[in-house]
Chain A
Amino acid sequence: MELLIQFLTNTGYYLADFRNIIMLFVGFIFIYLATAKKYEPLLLVPIGFGILVGNVPFFKGFGLGIYESNSVLHYLYFGVTSGLYPSIVFLGLGAMTDFSSLLARPKLMLLGAAAQMGIFFTLLSALALGFLPKEAASIAIIGGADGPTSIFLTAKLAPHLIGPIAIAAYSYMALIPVIQPPIMRLLTTHKERVIHMTELREVSKKELVIFPVVGVILCCFLAPASIPLLGTFFFGNFMKECGVTERLVQTARTAIIDIATIFLGFTVGASTQGDVFLTGKSVGIFCLGAVAFSIATASDIIFAKIMNLFFKDKINPLLGAAGVSAVPGSAREVHLVGQHEDPTNYLLMHAMACNSSGVIGSAICAGILWSFLV
């Protein structure tokens, strides 16, 4: 009988507290959004299930939890805390990215830069709210709307915040269809939304092959701290474009990125143990994340409008919303809003150009913030 009671006191049912229940509920919401609403399922399913697994109450000291040094989850989590998974994800991302639209119209790259203003505004806001500089920088990078970049920088600067920051970043990426369209409509007129972009010129194979080489040299020389992200990103893209490593690029854009995404999502989800995750800081991070994401979108749309004052070849300001690096969610949203206004307006290719430059911009920002605060 005593043995049975001892067993029962060690079960999750007995050890559960309200924070675990809340987090289990959050996990269910993620899984629901992913499966029923199809919001970023490749990210939200591993994260959501990871939240469920991470919030199963257990007897501390058994080497079960993600924060216990000898547990299996802890070893898997090493890929997050060391920045390994984000780097691998960037390799696959590079192998999937087509830069032809960006090369055809390089001025769209400026929109990728303007979107990063959200990061620096949020940095100031987080500092003003009392976060330490390293924490503030990690929170600010949510404005880049790039999950792997957010995780990478947080792992380097404020590892204790990886859970809330990763969850916030991926949540807002999944909520792009909810967050971005109202901002787009608020800041643009109907006349601006129906601007048709001129046709893109044809980009030669040589340009596509040279770009990753030029890109890695220029960007990594400027911000060497972004090497782990941009180095693998441009490497993946070079493999794609050089045309002689078809097997490698096929693996990078399928098996490798999928494996990294599964473990990244699952372990980040599992890191949200209620007792660690549900703090006042997490609430602050979620609020600031929303601010960062909204300001990034807004500042980019405004910048696109400013560009229109100077360029003869007008840009549809909706493209500004794709300057955040949520690939391809924000580009898709820009296209859908554009199509809603004028079904003959095809903005997807142009939005993808802004999107891919946003990836480069946010990785540079991460490198800059890391080098400022290391």
Chain B
Amino acid sequence: MYGLEAINAANGWAMAYTGAIIVFLGLVVLSFVVSQLNRVLSFWENLISKFKQNHTVKQTDELQDKDTSVVPHHFPSDIKEAARYYSHLIEDLDQPFELTRLYEISQQKGFPHPHITISNFRQANILVPAGGGLFTWSQP
């Protein structure tokens, strides 16, 4: 067989146009995916860098929080500096409060010499009597 008859008998037309469509489609899809690869990668990298940035900020915040709640082995002689450490404890107390309550919390937190320190706060009028054995905190 020759000519169109041979092409028809071998299903040549279908093979030719199906094959052409498939190879075109394949390379068009590959070309599209490749053209988007750059964008997908930059999107992904942005996402990662944002996540990392957030993570770093969080860690920094946590570190800062930790810094403020670090308990020194010896309180500084400056009463104002000592009051700064105690102010975090006062935040957890309802004002006015009993000195025993402040003493308990400062002991729990491991503050050194709470009795002497609270006494000093009293003398410096940082702890102000509110009547009925209760005191309020007056930040120096």
Which residues of A come within 8 Å of B, CB atoms? 102-103, 106-107, 109-110, 112-114, 116-117, 119-121, 123-124, 127-130, 132-133, 136-137, 203-204, 206-207, 210-211, 214-215, 218-219, 222-223, 357, 360-361, 364-365, 368-369, 372
Please name all residues of chain B whose beta carbon is closer than 8 Å to the beta carbon of A360 when the two chains form the complex. 27, 30
CB proximity to A under 8 Å, residues B28-46 = 28-35, 37-38, 41
Asked whether A120 lies within 8 Å of B6 as measured between CB atoms, the reply is no
In the A-B complex, the 7 residue pairs with the smallest Cβ-Cβ separation, listed nearest first, are A113-B27, A109-B31, A120-B16, A106-B34, A106-B35, A133-B10, A106-B31
Asked whether A110 lies within 8 Å of B37 as measured between CB atoms, the reply is no
With A124-B13, A130-B6 known to touch, is A211 a contact of B34 (CB < 8 Å)? yes
Asked whether A116 lies within 8 Å of B34 as measured between CB atoms, the reply is no
B112 within 8 A of A: no
Asked whether A219 lies within 8 Å of B15 as measured between CB atoms, the reply is no
- Complex Cα distance A206/B24, Å? 26
Please name all residues of chain B whose beta carbon is closer than 8 Å to the beta carbon of A372 when the two chains form the complex. 15, 18-19
Which residues of B come within 8 Å of A, CB atoms? 1-4, 6-7, 10-13, 15-20, 22-35, 37-38, 41
Please name all residues of chain A whose beta carbon is closer than 8 Å to the beta carbon of B1 when the two chains form the complex. 130
Please name all residues of chain B whose beta carbon is closer than 8 Å to the beta carbon of A215 when the two chains form the complex. 30
Contact of B6 among A106, A128, A364 (CB under 8 A): A128
17 A–B pairs (Cβ distance < 8 Å), ordered by A: A109-B30, A109-B31, A110-B24, A120-B16, A123-B16, A124-B12, A127-B6, A204-B41, A211-B37, A218-B29, A219-B26, A222-B22, A222-B25, A357-B27, A361-B23, A364-B23, A372-B18
Asked whether B2 lies within 8 Å of A130 as measured between CB atoms, the reply is yes
With A116-B20, A207-B38, A211-B34 known to touch, is A127 a contact of B27 (CB < 8 Å)? no
Q: How many A-B residue pairs have CB under 8 A?
A: 115
Asked whether A128 lies within 8 Å of B34 as measured between CB atoms, the reply is no
- Complex Cα distance A120/B24, Å? 12
Asked whether A123 lies within 8 Å of B12 as measured between CB atoms, the reply is yes
Please name all residues of chain A whose beta carbon is closer than 8 Å to the beta carbon of B29 when the two chains form the complex. 218, 222
Please name all residues of chain B whose beta carbon is closer than 8 Å to the beta carbon of A210 when the two chains form the complex. 37, 41
Asked whether A113 lies within 8 Å of B28 as measured between CB atoms, the reply is yes
A133 CB → nearest B CB, Å: 4
What 16 additional pairs, Cβ within 8 angstroms, besides A103-B37, A106-B31?
A113-B27, A124-B7, A128-B3, A129-B6, A136-B12, A207-B37, A207-B38, A207-B41, A211-B37, A214-B37, A215-B30, A222-B25, A361-B27, A364-B23, A369-B15, A372-B15
Contact of A109 among B7, B20, B27 (CB under 8 A): B27
